Amino acid sequence: MDTMTKKHVALIILLLVKIASPLAFYFALINAEQATSIFCSALIISFLILSIRISDQWEKAVVLRLGKYVGLKGPGLFFLIPFVDRVDQFVDQRIRVTDISADQTLSKDTVPVNVDAVIYWTVWDVEKAALEVENYRDAIAFIAQTSLRDTIGTHELSDLLQNREKIAQDLQENLDKNTNPWGITVQTVGIKDIIIPPALSDAMSKQAQAERERQARVTLSTAELEIAEKFEEASLRYKNNPVALQLRGMNMLFEGLKEKGSLIIVPSSALDSMNLGAIGGITGLAQHAQKNNEQNSKTE
Number of domains in the chain: 4
Phi and psi at 135, nearest 5°, equal -135, 95
- 300 is a domain residue: no
Same domain for 224 and 208: yes
- 188 is a domain residue: yes
**Model pTM?**
0.58
- 276 is a domain residue: yes
Omega into 75 within 30° of 0, i.e. cis?
yes
- 298 is a domain residue: no
Residue 259 has pLDDT above 70, yes or no: no
Same domain for 23 and 112: no
Same domain for 117 and 160: yes
- 296 is a domain residue: no
Strands 112-123 and 184-195: what pairing? antiparallel
Phi and psi at 96, nearest 5°, equal -115, 160
CA distances for 282 relative to 100, 230, 246, angstroms: 83, 32, 16
Same domain for 105 and 77: no
CB distance 191 to 159 below 8 Å: no
SS3 content of the chain, % helix, strand, coil (to 5): 60, 20, 15
Same domain for 57 and 9: yes
pLDDT (tens digit per residue) in 43-76: 788 788 888 888 889 999 999 998 899 989 988 8
CB distance 120 to 96 below 8 Å: yes
Same domain for 217 and 247: no
- 147 is a domain residue: yes
Q: Quickly state the pLDDT bin for 96 (edges 50, 70, 90).
A: very high
Rounded to an integer, the average pLDDT of 273-287 is 54
Could you tell me the residue range of the domain that residue 34 belongs to?
Answer: 3-90
**CA angle centred on 109, ends 107 and 113, rounded to 5°:** 35
Per DSSP, what are the bridge partners of residue 191?
A: 117
Strands 96-106 and 112-123: what pairing? antiparallel
Angstrom distance (rounded) from CA 132 to CA 13:
37
Q: Quickly state the pLDDT bin for 225 (edges 50, 70, 90).
A: confident
| SS3 state at 191 | strand
CB distance 243 to 237 below 8 Å: no
CB distance 52 to 82 below 8 Å: no
Same domain for 190 and 168: yes
Angstrom distance (rounded) from CA 20 to CA 27:
10
pLDDT (tens digit per residue) in 198-208: 776 666 666 76
More confident residue, 33 or 92: 92
Same domain for 108 and 18: no
Rounded to an integer, the average pLDDT of 2-16 is 60
Same domain for 70 and 30: yes
Same domain for 105 and 187: yes
Phi-psi region of 155 (alpha: psi -120 to 50; beta: other; left: phi over 0): beta
Best-predicted range by mean pLDDT among 114-128, 151-165, 184-198, 233-247?
114-128
Residue type, 181: P
Angstrom distance (rounded) from CA 63 to CA 74:
10
Phi and psi at 98, nearest 5°, equal -130, 125
